[in-house]
Chain A
Amino acid sequence: MVPGGVIPAPPPRVGVRPVYDSADTGSPVLGQLRELWELRRLLRIVVARDVIVRYKRSLLGVWWTLLNPLLTVAVMWAVLSGIFHARSLGVPYIVYLLSGVLLINFFQQGVIAAGWSMAGSSGVISKVHVPPALFALSAVLAAGVTLIVSVGLLLVMMLATGVGMQPSALLVPVPLLALAMLGTGCGLLLAAAAVRVHDVIDFTQVALQLLAFVTPTFYLLSSVSEPMRTAVQFNPLTQILLLFRGLLWGSGLPPWWTWAASAGSGAVALGLGTVVLARTWRASAAML
């Protein structure tokens, strides 16, 4: 086969014709946000890449997305269901467990994947100019695909076990969005640090495991005695989880501070992560 032919000229590239001036003293944060916006179409492709690569050589493929939380919950349920009684929870224990495990799993996976994303994509980053947040963002979004699928699974399980659905369940995207913001923010922070020292990822892995115990995934908040209960309440994941469960099967809307704590912690984390990564990036680039 003789190679040849002519590729037609593509439409102009995105964005205004760039002028790179290394002496430009503009804000790195604003500059990178603008670049991210210009490359938003790319984000979908990178997320798809992350999902495809993750499951490319597996037989079950994306079904692992469902199997992973199901197996976790099944084991926890088998071990713990004797200890916790359904009447105090308001829903079957398996539903209660799954709701907690989903959120925690997403947070753990998203943050760790974002932390590795820079090192993992250093082949691209050291050859083509891209806003550094791109790969961390896409790692969290890829974990978000898993989250959305497993929330669907939770809803099915709620209907199957006769829990039913409150009208307030329509507001469930609010805690999920807050969680995504929190995860992205922490992921960006971890990525910024991990470029310099890989150890922070191992440390974070341990910290995230411990954090899961300080979140009422498998127990009731009210069954924890003080002063531990206060500690659990100060965990932003707890507030997001309480909001999530309250909307799904609580009686009446959750109190205002649960909303405020969820949205607030998400916004603060996201803002902090964006600024820290953008400001440290120039100095980190040479270390990749």
Chain B
Amino acid sequence: MIEPAIEVSDLALAYRLMRNRPGTIAELAINALRRQVRYERLWALDGVSFSVAPGELLAVVGPNGAGKSTLLRVLARVLPPGRGRVIVRGHVSPIIELGAGFNTELTGLENAVLYGALLGHDPRWLQRHGDAIAAYAGLEGFMDVPIRAYSSGMIGRLAFAVATLGTPDVLLIDEVLAVGDEEFRTRSAARIDELIGGGTAVVLVTHGMEVARSRGDRVLWLDHGRPVALGEPDHVVDAYVRSVSDPAVVAR
């Protein structure tokens, strides 16, 4: 049996929010005297368990604020879990909020080298293959331009090209298929298929029900940080779509 690339058991994570958030130290002191400093725990994730095998695509669906992006951040080692255990085996390529880590003052090539190097690639190799990256992303002639002149689609292409270099063991994608034109969507889908064939485990957060249905090997449905269902794509997506038209289904 092959070891799973991702193992998550009973994962929980709370953001601590301060009620009556004071603007100044004086207000904080007054609130403290009145015993009005209260923290509220917002459970962004609560009791989530699943595993993803190499070459498997797990689609994650759910309404806004369900904890989907938080989940990706935990898998990307950006946020430590509050409770439970997370094991991720191998090199991870996160594409979370496309290009949000890019610096708008730097050129396309400078950003590609920086982002690629952050993922652990050799900066000199990236520098040498700038032309190939540009051609792949359809950005020939734009690589020496600061990316503040780029459209969001162009930034998305560049980020995708760099994140999918080589064959990462784990690919985390947050709505990448939503940006970009039809051509980019088709090609990025083909590239993801290629990576899956090469053994990459993919976690894909999406609001596209058709995407979840057709691309997912399994689908995880999150709501308010809790797993509502995990399993067969058609089964889970149908249940989720039904719940949206009839909210009573989720209110357990």
Residues of A near any B CB (own CB < 8 A): 1-15, 17-23, 38-39, 41-42, 44-46, 49, 52-53, 56-57, 123-130, 282, 285-286
Contacts and interface: CB of A to CB of B under 8 A. Distances in A.
Nearest to B118: A128
A11 B105 CA distance: 28
26 contacts: A4-B138, A7-B161, A9-B165, A10-B166, A13-B120, A17-B90, A18-B91, A19-B89, A19-B90, A20-B88, A21-B86, A22-B84, A22-B87, A41-B122, A45-B114, A45-B123, A52-B106, A53-B105, A123-B101, A126-B73, A127-B76, A127-B78, A127-B96, A129-B76, A282-B80, A285-B80
A4 B188 CA distance: 11
B53 to A, nearest CB: 16
Contacts of B97: 127
Given A10-B166, A129-B77, A3 B157 contact: yes
Contacts of B73: 126-127
A22 B119 contact: no
Given A1-B138, A52-B110, A11 B118 contact: no
B90 A18 contact: yes
Nearest to A43: B117
B87 A129 contact: no
A101 B81 CA distance: 46
Interface stretch (B127-135, B199-207, B224-232): B127-135
Contacts, number: 144
Interface of B: 13, 15-16, 73, 76-81, 84-92, 94, 96-97, 100-103, 105-106, 110, 113-123, 125-126, 129, 132-133, 135-141, 146, 157, 161, 165-167, 169, 183-184, 187
Nearest to A15: B120
